[in-house]
Structure 1
Amino acid sequence: MMTFSRRGFLAASAAASASLMLPARVRAQSPALTLSATTRTIEVQGRAATIMGLVNARGGNGLTLDPGQRMQVDLTNALDRDTIIHWHGQIPPNSQDGVPNTNPMLTPGETRSYDFATRPGTFWMHSHIPVQEVGLLAAPLIVRSEADLAADRQEVVLFLHDFSFKTPEEVLTETIGGEEHAAMSGGGDAMAGMDHGAMAGAGGMQPMGGMGAMAMDLNDFDFDAYLANDRTLDDPEVVTVERNGRVLLRAINGSAMTAYLIDLGGQRGRLVAVDGDPCQPLAGTRFGFAPGQRLDIEIDMPADGSALPVLALREGARERTGIILAPPGASVPRIPGMSETEHPAFSADLSQEAALRAATPLPERRADRLHQVMLGGSMSPYVWTIDGRVWGDQLPIQVRSGERVEMTLHNMSMMAHPMHLHGHVFQVVGLGMERIAGALRDTVHVPSMSMVTIAFDAGEVAPWMLHCHHMGHLETGMMTELDVTA
């Protein structure tokens, strides 16, 4: 997909430096980038498949911006239906956030111009209509920093998605079937027989309420394939990297409903950023993330010059996907798309979140306002709620611009929820009853029967969406507004 060599970085750095020397009025006249929300064809398991995408002027999916480059883009809707595109993790003016509650839909054939300052890091963009995101109307959005250009490492983007040969409408209809579908797919029994009492997070934290009494649900729908840069392990992308070199893996979970563990085999990596914001390096060989989240992982290639598979393991199941990092001349292994045993449940474990620390945390400040937000729902009827309400009957969460807000997300359901807040960066400051000085994020995964507390400074006066990034949950109403007033 998108790779950047060290030498390419040096050339890009020189070009970027030269452009920054231009007068502001000249830079402002630079032509806008173009994106098209359209259909495209890929091959999955030997079959042609028509999916959606956000295609740039060169025919690739997504955008990469240089340090300091504004998001100046003309977005054209080349689909036969209305759409709206959200710039996930960026903080544009609310009028450009790409959400249907405050922005008009983009009609077929219409072109709309966007122009806002960007935040550096690993981000993505996607339709804010669940059925379209299931249909892969999503793409990477990478904003490089000066530090990225100066670093002696190669960048590799890993974009993950779950895929079905069924139409997106059929996928959501079957998912929303609740218990009938859960029984058919085995989703409701994904953790049956496991020792839930042994699954404590960091510091011995247990999910609230004791999951042993009920089975936690992990996977609502069994997709036909799990894609890494539009490909499966039947024909994975092989990325050429330098022998003994260093790689920055920018992993994006663009999946509609699937959480993964990024597995490096025996090779240790360093998690250096989550959701676009740097964190204190966290070493490991496996790192988990939920839909909407991103991981930046530094990897030193094996000293013997061998290839390194980077696998994404579907949680609580055997399916996997991934790419291969291969120095010139290295033998490329063939890896089946199914593991021999089921993978662990990332959604049941807070230990990674508990270990993360922001590189630059929020300034110390007492909270001006506290909110308790209840996450609820069930498999039958398949309805998911915030504070007992669904979208359309939502009760907005009231804050004032400039306030330090602490929000505790109580998950009283039997599924985990990746909760995404628009227009803000927040810090994870509590897991259960334990206070931490955690990572900066825009999407936090809240396990079943658990609670997570986040802190943020309320921004622009506007209604900002707060919702679950599992498309089945979003489709059935798990969304509300953060109403920021003056």
Structure 2
Amino acid sequence: MLRDFSFTPASQILNNVVAGERGGGTAMAKSLADFAWHQPRTLLTQQWDPATQRFGMKQEKGVLMMGSDVVYDALLANERSLDAPEIIDVEPGETVAIRWVAGSAFMSFFLDLGDLEGELLRIDANPVEPIRGSLFQLALAQRLTLRIKVPEEPGVFPLLALGERSNLRRGVVLRNNPKLSAPDLAPQTDQWTGPLDFTQDKQLRATNPLAGRAAYNTIPVALTGPAPKYTWGLNDRFYPYRDPYWVEQGQRVEMVFSNPTPMGHPMHLHGHEFQILEIDGTPLDGPMRDTVYVPKGSTCRIAFDANNPGIWAFHCHIAYHHVRGMFNVVAYRSADLSWWDPSGFGHEYLPF
């Protein structure tokens, strides 16, 4: 379980960000007050190598890095930092499955397997055609399962999660000899990462895709914000309001995302699993998910079958975004909506 951590309460972070304080007023942000955010620097990102058919690491030079809305004091894996990481004892030559869960409030991650290679088996608990690599992307609220073959030779093998647009990291350590000690691992380094993108999703293919079928209902979803005063919305509207995305039971529904905002958004639909069918205008038989990270400047088309009647939350999973308006619901025409009262949603944080 991966998450971000701050000594500053979340409500205070949000108040600080709304007031225009870059970094959220955390202790780490204050220590970086003089950091040259907008200077060109080398950022680590993911790449796909078509020759070897695997994901790996690349470094992009001369990139202008935008300061983060929230700067965290630490990142945790299973509630532990890299000062004292969890050590997982395994057998030499054993095959293990590591399930990663991004349970943070703001941060997304790159998963760095170091000297090992993993085989991606599942995304958001849905199987995909296995695909190999040493660096993977995991957006906030997503889950990912990697199958890893432990070397026969004695050793300790750090599995690290690198914070997106950050120089913070955390992780766990695989050890195939109990006599060995974990290496010293710095929770903060000089290497900064770039933003997540669609590199990974473009290569993934669902093992159990949706049946071929025409869409009956297409919903455009433009991601908007952060003005005014750090408000984020869907189609230039900011929750709370009582105007859901309507669907009929049995429909094939498509959503078309566009993201002109200055950052990526992990968009999460409750109660359903959807398939990615198009990225930046290119059709594909992509993975089944319940959370898709839509990078800035990108578009994405997803589809799901309306087979779970009710009223379901649909939102950006960054806590400071959905509480500031990037939220709505998908409602079935047959559902009883009499109990749904949006007026109380996040009222203590909203400016209207």
Q: Same fold (TM over 0.5)?
A: yes
Query: Structure 1 residue aligned with 2:212, among 348, 351, 364?
Result: 364
Q: 1 CA distance for matches of 2:184 and 2:327?
A: 42
Aligned: 1:339 with 2:180: no
Note the C-alpha offset of 1:193: 3.2
Question: For each residue in 1:153-174, what CA deviation from the matched residue of structure 2 results, as whole angstroms up to 9, or x when unmatched?
Answer: xxxxxx0111111222212222
Note the C-alpha offset of 1:363: 0.9
What does residue 181 of structure 1 align with?
Answer: 22
Query: Structure 1 residue aligned with 2:110, among 252, 255, 261?
Result: 261
CA contact (8 A) 1:389 1:395 kept: no
CA contact (8 A) 1:247 1:301 kept: yes
Secondary structure at the aligned position of 2:148 is classed as strand
CA contact (8 A) 1:409 1:451 kept: yes
**Aligned AA (1:174):** N
1:45-124 to 2 correspondence within 5 Å? none
What does residue 270 of structure 1 align with?
Answer: 119
What does residue 391 of structure 1 align with?
Answer: 239
Aligned: 1:171 with 2:19: no
| Cα distance change of structure 1 residues 226 and 313 upon mapping to structure 2, 3 Å threshold | same
Question: For each residue in 1:214-258, what CA deviation from the matched residue of structure 2 results, as whole angstroms up to 9, or x when unmatched?
Answer: x78573211111110010011111111111111100000001000
Q: CA RMSD in A?
A: 2.7
Question: For each residue in 1:307-351, what CA deviation from the matched residue of structure 2 results, as whole angstroms up to 9, or x when unmatched?
Answer: 1101000122211001111113334211111223212322xx211
Question: For each residue in 1:30-81, what CA deviation from the matched residue of structure 2 results, as whole angstroms up to 9, or x when unmatched?
Answer: xxxxxxxxxxxxxxxxxxxxxxxxxxxxxxxxxxxxxxxxxxxxxxxxxxxx
Query: Structure 2 residue aligned with 1:193, among 40, 48, 66?
Result: 40
CA contact (8 A) 1:244 1:303 kept: yes
Higher normalized contact order (CA 8 Å, seq sep 6+, divided by chain length): 2
CA contact (8 A) 2:249 2:306 kept: yes
| Cα distance change of structure 1 residues 363 and 384 upon mapping to structure 2, 3 Å threshold | same
CA contact (8 A) 1:218 1:415 kept: no
| Cα distance change of structure 1 residues 160 and 447 upon mapping to structure 2, 3 Å threshold | same
What does residue 15 of structure 1 align with?
Answer: none
Q: 2 CA distance for matches of 1:340 and 1:163?
A: 20
**Aligned AA (1:411):** N
Q: 2 CA distance for matches of 1:199 and 1:379?
A: 30
What does residue 298 of structure 1 align with?
Answer: 147
Note the C-alpha offset of 1:191: 6.6
Secondary structure at the aligned position of 2:202 is classed as helix
| Cα distance change of structure 1 residues 394 and 287 upon mapping to structure 2, 3 Å threshold | farther
Query: Structure 2 residue aligned with 1:315, among 164, 176, 181?
Result: 164
Question: For each residue in 1:61-104, what CA deviation from the matched residue of structure 2 results, as whole angstroms up to 9, or x when unmatched?
Answer: xxxxxxxxxxxxxxxxxxxxxxxxxxxxxxxxxxxxxxxxxxxx
| Cα distance change of structure 1 residues 189 and 256 upon mapping to structure 2, 3 Å threshold | farther
Gapped runs of 5+ residues in structure 1? 1-158, 204-214
**Aligned AA (1:223):** Y
| Cα distance change of structure 1 residues 216 and 418 upon mapping to structure 2, 3 Å threshold | farther
Question: For each residue in 1:365-416, what CA deviation from the matched residue of structure 2 results, as whole angstroms up to 9, or x when unmatched?
Answer: 1111111111100266211001111111253112111100111011121111
| Cα distance change of structure 1 residues 362 and 320 upon mapping to structure 2, 3 Å threshold | same
What is the TM-score when the length of structure 1 is the normalising length?
Answer: 0.60
| Cα distance change of structure 1 residues 200 and 390 upon mapping to structure 2, 3 Å threshold | farther
Structure having the higher helix fraction is 1
Gapped runs of 5+ residues in structure 2? 51-63, 335-352
Instruction: Name whichever of 183-192 and 288-297 sits farther off.
Output: 183-192
**Aligned AA (1:358):** A
What is the TM-score when the length of structure 2 is the normalising length?
Answer: 0.82
CA contact (8 A) 1:264 1:286 kept: yes
| Cα distance change of structure 1 residues 202 and 434 upon mapping to structure 2, 3 Å threshold | farther
CA contact (8 A) 1:220 1:257 kept: no
| Cα distance change of structure 1 residues 183 and 254 upon mapping to structure 2, 3 Å threshold | closer
**Aligned AA (1:456):** F
Query: Structure 1 residue aligned with 2:310, among 462, 465, 480?
Result: 462
| Cα distance change of structure 1 residues 160 and 182 upon mapping to structure 2, 3 Å threshold | closer
Secondary structure at the aligned position of 2:88 is classed as strand
Q: 1 CA distance for matches of 2:96 and 2:229?
A: 46
How many residues align? The count is 314
CA contact (8 A) 1:356 1:438 kept: yes
CA contact (8 A) 1:459 1:484 kept: no
CA contact (8 A) 2:266 2:317 kept: yes
Note the C-alpha offset of 1:199: 10
Q: 2 CA distance for matches of 1:278 and 1:401?
A: 25
1:323-334 to 2 correspondence within 5 Å? 323-328=172-177, 329-334=179-184
Percent identity of paired positions between Structure 1 and Structure 2? 34
Instruction: Name whichever of 166-175 and 268-277 sits farther off.
Output: 166-175
Aligned: 1:403 with 2:251: yes
Q: 2 CA distance for matches of 1:199 and 1:275?
A: 19
| Cα distance change of structure 1 residues 175 and 459 upon mapping to structure 2, 3 Å threshold | farther
What does residue 298 of structure 2 align with?
Answer: 450
CA contact (8 A) 1:164 1:171 kept: no
